[in-house]
Structures are given as C-alpha cells and as structure tokens.
Amino acid sequence: MKPLNVADYRRAAKKRLPRGMFEYIDRGTEDEVGLRGIRTRLDATKLEQCILNDVAKPDTSTVIFGEKLPLPVIISPTAVAGLVWHDGEVQLARAARAAGIPFCVATQSMTSMEDIAARAAGTNLWFQLYVFEDRQLTRDLLRRAKALGIRNLLFTADTPRSPKKEWNTRNGFGIPIKPTLAGGLDVLVHPRWSVSVMLRYLMTTGMPTYAHYPPEYRTRITRALVWDNVRLARRLTWEDFSEIRREWDGNLILKGVLSPADAERAMLHGADGIVVSCHGGRNLDSAPVALDALPRIADVVAGRMTVLADSGIRRGSDIVKYLAAGADAVLIGRAPLYGTAAAGEAGATGVIEILREELDHCMAFTGRTRLSEIGRDAIWPT
C-alpha cells in the first residue's frame, strides 16, 4: 500500500534499513528528553480553525533570500543520506528539484557538491558548513561552493562535541562503522539494503568516504579519522563566524540559535538569517525545543533578517505551527530521509508531496489564503 503519511515512510525505512542505521537517523541523544519534547510540544500546540473564507486555492509560496519557492521548505543537510540509499544525496537533490525547493548539501556528505550539481542539474543547492580544525580546508570548501554558484551558506554552530548516542554503542553502529558481531548480523538480516546500497558501492565506487575532504585526507567510513586537519573544530567562536562572513559574499545563515541574545549577536556579526533549531533532539538533551524558543527570537529579530526553523516536522500542520510562531520557512531532515530510505527519489518526492498537501489542507481549515496570513493569532491560546 502506498504510504499515506510521513509515519508510513518511517515504518518502511525501519523495515528496510539495518537497525543501527535506522536508529542513527531516527533517535535522539542521552535520555531522549529533547526528542520526546519536540513532538509533545508540536502536538500540544493547537491552531485556530476559521470558517467561510475563500480557501479554494491557498497560496503556499514564499520568498526566501530573494527567491520564490512554491513551499516554505528547505531539505536539511544530513550526513548519512548516502548510506540510506545508493547515491542518497543525489536522490534527495532530484526530489527537491522536482518540488522547486532548495536542497542543502552537508559538509560530511558521501557525494561531493560538484557531483550533486552535475547529476541533479538545476537543483537550488545550498551548502552547510562545519568548520574544520584546519581553517584553510574550510576556505577551500567556500571556494568550491562559490565556483558552483551556490549563494546560501548554512553555518552550523551547535555541535561543539560529538553527542552521546548510547543506543548506537549498544547496537554496534557508529561513524566510523566498526565491524562487530551485532552489526554484521544486523546487515545480514537486511539483504535489500546490503545488496542495493553497500554492495553496489563496493562494486562501483568502493567504500563510501566523506566526499568533501581533500583526497589526501579521505578515509573510508569504516576507519576513524587519523588527521586532525579534518576534525570538526572544537574551538569555534564569534570571530570564526566573522571570518566566514568576510570570506563569503552570499547569504550567510547561522544554524543552531536558541536564544534571543545569540540572534542579536548573529545580526551584529552580519548574518543574513538564522535557523532556530534544537538539532532534532540530537545534540543537547536539555535544550529548549525550537518551537518554544522561536517566538522570543522572532520578536527580537523583528523582520531584520530571515528566520528559519527546524526540528520534528512530520505533518503539514507542523509547518504552519512553526510559521505561526515566527519562522519564514522551515528545514526538514528526518522526514525526507525516511522517504529516501524507503524508495529513493520517489520516496523523498512522496514525503514532500504529502507535506505540501497537508500544508494546503491546514491553511484551508485555518482560513488562511497565503502564508503571510499565518501569524501568532493562528495559534489557539492556552
């Protein structure tokens, strides 16, 4: 039966992927308080239903950084997309292209931005930047992105340490992938993934690597990094952000903002936009959920820069809730990954179409004919 919602795609992904791989993309960190809190807060937020408005054709389009998008949605950067499906980043980029929305390439993707641009020509590509210990290598990434005509840079600043993911220790999965008995058995009982993804890589391009690392620093995903140069920077400050601002002449978006003070500092340091994000419950387990942090941040920004948001979006109504709380658009990560894991490009396209339809329905039920009408008053007061 064709999946009817994102939860259906999640179940299909869980069935097809090895357990370790599925839990790597699906679960949170530590006690998963943050992960549960995201969904609890979204579900507890009610929308005001309004009747007798002309909602025959709600307009779901918006303008972000001067570009008109048919949906207020950007595909988030996700490092393991290339492992849930063969050439998963390309599949996601093609689905984004078909929907007319941006796809953000991850620093740690398995496919390079150049290959994605060539094999998914015409996609509106953004690039996500993690800063390396070797800042020159970071500058090289910026140069490559500029050469491709990429204009929107997503500077991710909320991962100063590798999060504690205890379940991956228990199930034998992690990056780098280390051979274990549990992991080996996990792969054996998921032959569709083993043959169509891992075996296909081994027979064509070889064991996947982080494609954005310079050739001399690339290691297979089964080996730990042996060079400090390409480790993610542990010391990351506002001066680093200012340095990137000086290097990058396109739009610079700071991802991981959860406080009004950081939003103000981002503006002072030249950010064109921010992403209000609790990283989907994958980093600080005690962080506030993005939906709670968003209104205060939006009030401080007061329209002076673009405000994006993410974390936990599974329904079109979730998008409306983020927009009502102050976001101009949202990023979606796990949802399209579930679709890609289930059916490649077709699955990612299916997830985007479900969210588009649900967004249309939610706007109709709340009496909104265009996104600009979705304000704080769309949320039912508690």
Residues 6+ apart with CB under 8 A from 6: 314, 315, 335, 338, 339, 351, 354, 355
The region, left, alpha or beta by phi > 0 then psi within -120 to 50, assigned to residue 33 is alpha
- Measuring CA to CA, how many Å separate 137 from each of 133, 176, 214, 298? 8, 21, 8, 34
- DSSP sequence for 174-228: -SS----HHHHHHHHT-HHHIIIIIIHHHHTT-S-B-TTS-GGG--BTTS----G
Helices (H), the chain: 6-16, 19-26, 33-44, 81-84, 88-99, 113-119, 135-147, 166-171, 181-188, 191-193, 200-203, 238-247, 260-268, 290-301, 316-325, 334-365
Residues 6+ apart with CB under 8 A from 313: 319, 322, 330, 332, 335, 355
Name which of 273, 275, 319 is nearest 71 in CA terms: 319
Kindly state the DSSP code that residue 132 receives in the 8-state scheme.
B
User: Which residue's structure tokens are 């008109």?
Assistant: 68
Please tell me which residue in 190, 269, 279, 361 is annotated as part of the active site: 279
Name which of 343, 358, 345, 356 is nearest 9 in CA terms: 343
Residues 6+ apart with CB under 8 A from 283: 29, 158, 159, 163
Per the annotation, the verdict on 361 as an active-site residue is: no
Residues 6+ apart with CB under 8 A from 20: 168, 171, 172, 173, 174, 182, 183, 186
Query: Is the omega angle on the peptide bond into residue 176 within 30 degrees of 0, that is, cis?
Result: yes
Active site residues: 279
